[in-house]
Structure formats: structure tokens, C-alpha cells
Amino acid sequence: MGKKISVEYPESLANSLKLAGKDFQTEIKRTSLVKLYEMGKISSGVAAKVLGVKRIDFIELLAAYKVSAFGTSDLDELKEDISNA
């Protein structure tokens, strides 16, 4: 069985996002996992498993958050990786 995290937040935060209840919880969970992926702390597979979605669905979700599925936002580094492939 998984562990739970409880986070206190002012209702104004959820209101500012125009989300309530389950929708707000889902947004916080998605955002946290996307950020952990972006920081290189978890893989897309781990994030997908925690969200209960297919890996390809998580990768598509990254675009909504403007996060590269390639794990880097540095264009020069990406070009170098491509040239070294």
C-alpha cells in the first residue's frame, strides 16, 4: 500500500487556479511529478506509475507543462547529443 502526503494550503490557492477538491489534488500531484521528472529525480516510468497512466500519456502530459521529454531544456546540449548519436 502506498503512502500519503498531506499538504495544508490556503483555499485562495485552489481558487486562484479555479480548481476545487479532487481537481486541485490531481493538479498538485501532476505538477509535483512533472517537476521531479524535469529535475532528473525520477523517470517517466515512475511518474506514470504514480499517476496511474501509461508512460506515453505522461510524456504527452509534459508538453502541457512545457517540459522537454528529452530531459534537457538546453538546446545546445540536445544538439550535441544528436550529433554524438
Task: List pLDDT tens digits, range 1-25.
Answer: 688 888 898 999 999 999 988 999 9
DSSP letter, residue 71: S
Q: What's CA 31's distance to the chain center, in Å?
A: 5
Per-residue pLDDT band at 34 (split at 50, 70, 90): very high
Residue 74 has pLDDT above 90, yes or no: no
Q: Which of 1, 9, 45 is nearest to 27 (CA)?
A: 9
Q: Are 9 and 19 in contact (CB under 8 A)?
A: no
Instruction: Report the distance separating Cα 51 and Cα 57, nearest Å.
Output: 10
pTM for the whole thing? 0.78
